[in-house]
Structure 1
Amino acid sequence: MPLHFSASLPKPAFLRPHTKSFGLGLVCVGLLAALAACSKHEAAPEPIRAVKVVTVALGNIGSNLEFAGEVRAQTESALGFRVAGKIIQRQAELGQRVKVGQVLAQLDPQDYKLAADAARAQLAAATTNSDLASADYKRYKELKEQNFISGAELERRDSVLKSAQAQVQQAQAQLASSGNQAVYTRLVSDVAGVVTAVSAEPGQVVAGGTPVVKVAQDGARDVVFVVPEDRVAGVQLGSAVAVRVWSSNTELAGKVREVAASADAVTRTFQVKVSIDPKTAPPLGTTVSVLPQSLSRAGVPVIKLPTSALKQEANGTTAVWLLDPASMTVKSQQVVVASADGNEAVISSGLQPGMQVVAAGVHVLAPGQKVTIYQQKTTPAQSASAPAAMNTVATPVAAPVSAAQ
């Protein structure tokens, strides 16, 4: 049966709302929300980075300028046929040693033999005409002595004879030329040496003078290398050069024999030739290292920095971080790199001896950032723990002796 309460009677406590407590709770929640919205989270302070620094000082360059060179013969002859034709045979091979008079290649000589035959026939005809003109002149000369002909007729016969004799000489020269051309169909080496290049193959039609074989003559040897424009002025004729063979690491002495008068059209470098003793020269084509003494930089005082200290600026320049010992902050300093010395950069301007430069971690620093100097941690000595470790090893126990023994 449901309960009915009278309006005059008070309601039970569990049915009466706690209006005062509920309102106070809402006010507290609102204040907490407002405080949470107004409060700002303070950023954690950036940790002070530890950096490695080096003190700028003058040092000596330990490396020399080194160039890659190649051993070549002082004289290389590009041999070719003196006449045009089709190559029917090539006896020379790359790397082959040849002698004076050795046949290197052969053209088809048939056309030149026919030309020689034609020249020989022309010579025979010219000789016959000359003999006939000579006989006529002799007869007319006798008639002139008997006054049967005039002097003008004799002079005419003399002119005919001289013309016939000239035709004979022309035919003889033509025959000699045709004979020479037939001989020129054989490419013969006029020097002793080694074949270093082959430019034509059998079946190929070549023009007169086209290089077919290149022969490096025996005798003097050169080391050929190139230098850039800014170094060619330091290479003097007759200056000493050290030549180091890559394969055997042996060093040879040489002298500058020739410096190119103009730069290469493509590489813009200057070719330099160094003469070496042919008795100790390595084989042709050997790659060597060339160290010109006139370009030596050993002992020159310069400022050097490890390459890890360099950084690239947005404008393309090179800079380093300088440490201010008073405030222990860093600032950027622009420098000019002249060259490299091993794994170090040679600085030409921007630094003075005594400055401190950050040597590592340059890409995580900012101007004015506070830093500390990195101190290498020392590891505790392990010698003290070694005896303790030895004492923990169990000593082997002897086996018990049997009672029966």
Structure 2
Amino acid sequence: MKLTFLFIAIAASLSACGKKETVAPVNPVRPALTQIVGVQAEEGGVFYSGEIRARNELTVSFRTGGKLIARPVEAGMRVKSGQVLARLDPLDAEFQAGAARAQYTLTESEALRYRELHRKGFVSQSVLDAKEAALQAASAQAGLTHNQSDYTVLRAAHDGVVAATLAEAGQVVSAGQPVLRLAQSGETEVSIEIPEADYAARHVGDKADIVLLTGAGAHMSGRLRELSPSADPVSRTYAARVSIVSAANHIALGMTARVRFEAAKTGAAELLIPVSAVYQQGGHPAVWIVSADHTVSLRPVEISAYRDSGAVIASGLAAGERIVTAGVHRLSAGEKIQLIAQVSVP
């Protein structure tokens, strides 16, 4: 009997262990980066990123074709006026020059002989004129082939820096094919791209503040020198050049710079939000609004311009409202979030 009770007790214990406790599901609160929307002062201006370039850049090429046998310069090297940049195989040009010189010598001797015959009355003036014309043609051909031989050596037309190499030794190049891009020493400027939304507000002569994004971030003054009248068909931006009025001592070609143009004085403040806060809803922009109880709702907005510093809100949002600025594609309406940051737009 005692053994029977023992078996029953063990079975009951095992049965109790096999039952799992039912735990009510808990919906985790998603952490989200938010900020309070603020008014951007008009004086902030409009910013563009660009690259330091030489004002005068030349694409250098040979005036004759041939096999490239040497290119003793590399990108970034400084060169002097007259310095050899590249060489073509001169053999063919030398053969042509030799043949032209031989033809000129033969034609010259014939012209001398016919001059003597004409003096003695054995040939007419027209025959002599033909020989004289042949001599002039041979002389021109000899000069041309001599120049072609000189054209196998490519030299720098001025002091500068090799901005890019476009052909390698061993490659066969044609006349006029780019071999190097040479940046002339002297004035420098910043190459930037102007978005369509900002094109009408930009004019040649606009003053700009330029900041290098390397080192100590030197500030320089500049002026919009050139603005393309047509947009790039792919990026839909307009190429522009900003001349540097007061260049920093340590400025170098290729450095990254930020260009700021003063904003137009319209009397109206701007609301600027991070581009990461914009959620596309059916092809239209919207933002997630955070309520007092930390739940989110999606609200359509109108964006007047996109800039390097963010998106400019035209309508649909007011200063002081809190929005989600990261992870906007993972949220759903009515969801409660945990605030992990509170940043205000200046």
| TM-score greater than 0.5 by the shorter chain | yes
**Equivalent position to 1:161, from 128, 137, 146:** 128
Alignment equivalent of 2:167, drawn from 193, 197, 200: 200
CA 1:239 to 1:158, structure 2 compared with 1: closer, same or farther past 3 Å? same
Amino acid at match of 1:336: E
Structure 1 segment 373-388 matched on structure 2, within 5 A: none
Between the aligned partners of 2:223 and 2:107, the Cα distance in structure 1 is: 62
Structure showing greater Rg: 1
Alignment of 1:46-61 (within 5 A): 60=41
Corresponding residue number in structure 2 for 1:137? 118
Residue 397 of structure 1 corresponds to: none
Q: Which residue of 2 aligns with 1:125?
A: 106
Instruction: Give me the whole-angstrom Cα distance separating, in 1, the residues matched to 2:87 and 2:274.
Output: 63
Detail structure 1 runs of 4+ shifted over 3 Å in the superposition. Answer: 54-64, 295-300, 302-317, 319-323, 330-335, 337-347, 350-353, 356-360, 362-366
Root-mean-square deviation over aligned CA pairs: 3.7
Whose RCO is larger (CA < 8 A, sep 6+)? Answer: 2
Q: CA deviation at 1:265?
A: 2.1
Q: Which blocks of at least 5 consecutive residues in structure 1 are unaligned?
A: 1-53, 141-153, 324-329, 367-405
1:87-118: CA deviation from partner (whole Å, max 9, x where unpaired): 11111222111111111111111111111111
Cα distance change of structure 1 residues 312 and 171 upon mapping to structure 2, 3 Å threshold = closer
Contact 1:195 1:213 in 2 (8 A): yes
Q: Which residue of 1 aligns with 2:286?
A: 318
Identity of aligned residues (%): 33
C-alpha spacing 1:359/1:308, structure 2 compared with 1 (3 Å)? farther
CA contact (8 A) 1:97 1:194 kept: yes
Determine if the alignment matches structure 1 residue 211 to structure 2 residue 192.
no
- The normalised TM-score by structure 2 is 0.72
Q: Is the 8 A contact 1:308 1:359 kept in 2?
A: no
Structure 1 counterpart SS, 2:210: strand
Q: What is the number of equivalent residue pairs in this alignment?
A: 290
Which protein is richer in strand relative to its size? 2
Given that residues 197 and 305 in structure 2 are in contact (C-alpha distance below 8 angstroms), is that contact kept between their aligned partners in structure 1? no
Confirm or deny: 8 A CA contact 1:78 1:213 kept in the other structure: yes
Contact 1:88 1:203 in 2 (8 A): yes
Secondary structure in 1 aligned to 2:87?
strand
Runs of at least 5 residues in structure 2 that lack an aligned partner in the other structure = 1-34, 325-330, 336-346
Deviations 1:55-74 (A, max 9, x none): 99977457432111101011
- For the 8 Å contact 1:90–1:105, the answer to whether it is kept is yes
Report the counterpart of residue 283 of structure 1 in structure 2: 252
SS in 2 for 1:66: strand
Summarize deviations over 1:142-168 as a string: whole Å, max 9, x none: xxxxxxxxxxxx8x6111111111111
**Is 1:349 matched up with 2:318?**
no
Aligned to 1:270: 238
What is the CA–CA distance in structure 1 between the aligned matches of 2:276 and 2:152, rounded to whole Å?
A: 67
Establish whether residue 105 from structure 1 lines up as the match of residue 86 from structure 2. Answer: yes
- TM-score, scaled to structure 1: 0.62
Q: Quote how far apart the aligned CAs of 1:280 are.
A: 2.7
**How do 1:6-405 residues align onto structure 2 when only pairs under 5 Å count?**
60=41, 63-140=44-121, 157-247=124-214, 248-277=216-245, 279-280=247-248, 282-293=251-262, 295=263, 300-302=268-270, 318=286, 334-338=300-304, 347-350=313-316, 365=334
Structure 2 CA distance for partners of 1:123 and 1:65, relative to 1, 3 Å: same
Query: In 2 relative to 1, CA 162–297 (structure 1 residues): closer, same or farther, beyond 3 Å?
Result: same
